[in-house]
Amino acid sequence: MNKKIELLNLGKKDYKETWDFQEELFQKILDKKIQNRRENKQEQTPNYFLLVEHPHVYTLGKSGDIKNLLLSEEKLAEKGATFYKINRGGDITYHGPGQIVGYPILDLENFFTDIHKYLRLLEEMVILTLAEYGVKAERSKGETGVWLDVGTPFARKICAMGVRASRWVTMHGFALNVNANLGYFDNIVPCGINDKAVTSLNVELGKEEIPMQEVEEKLLKHFKALFETEFVS
């Protein structure tokens, strides 16, 4: 089992270009697994973790409802945003500047074969990171992602998640609002949930801006511990 993960920080990158790159890495792992089975080999499969910040974009998961996008194509263009229907789970979400997006592209057979556990560990990584800032985050039953003030009229989501998996290989991942422009969420029904708000770490802390690299380092530290792995570059 290969528990090492190649870390690729893509900086600011177009959503479609990043999605294509994810698909390329995802297929590379699948091809290796298929080859191993056909040829009865035990060659190691690679793992990747992409960190990226996207320009304004809305993405709709395969089980999502297009009615949850509240903008016309013309209005999207006016706001400098793009839109894609994609092949992850979940409904509609927004990505943009001030948001840390992570795409772990892992062969879970190198770690554990349990998608439920995988999602819970991603949530835990975010919960532990936010705790370092004095923010108490938690899970909301039946709603993937990370939330604040669950069970109250003030419940709000700070991190969205949606993944795809095939033959235990994962792609897509999480989006944590750090310094996000929350106005862009007004153009959708986030994740198809219309009775809860969205928030960002800088808003919760009452600060104009939180250093993105600092938050990234904390996320990676907790991911490394939870998945008992190490990053290589």
* Structural domains in the chain, sorted by start: 4-232 (3.30.930.10)
More confident residue, 67 or 99: 99
Catalytic residue among 108, 191, 198, 219: 191
Q: How far is Cα 120 from Cα 116, in angstroms, rounded to an integer?
A: 6
**Least confident stretch, 62-76, 127-141, 212-226:** 62-76
Which band of pLDDT confidence, cut at 50, 70 and 90, is reported for residue 192?
low
Q: Is the dihedral of CA 116, 122, 123, 124 positive or negative?
A: positive
For residue 191, the model assigns a pLDDT of 55
Known catalytic membership, residue 159: no
**Is residue 88 a known part of a binding site?**
yes
**Is residue 82 a known part of a binding site?**
no
Instruction: Name the amino acid, one letter, at 74.
Output: E
The C-alpha angle with vertex 136 and arms to 133 and 142, in degrees rounded to 5, equals: 135
**Is residue 90 a known part of a binding site?**
yes
Report if pTM > 0.85. Answer: yes
Q: How far is Cα 4 from Cα 88, in angstroms, rounded to an integer?
A: 24
Q: How far is Cα 32 from Cα 153, in angstroms, rounded to an integer?
A: 48
pLDDT over threshold 80, residue 90: no
**Is residue 91 a known part of a binding site?**
yes
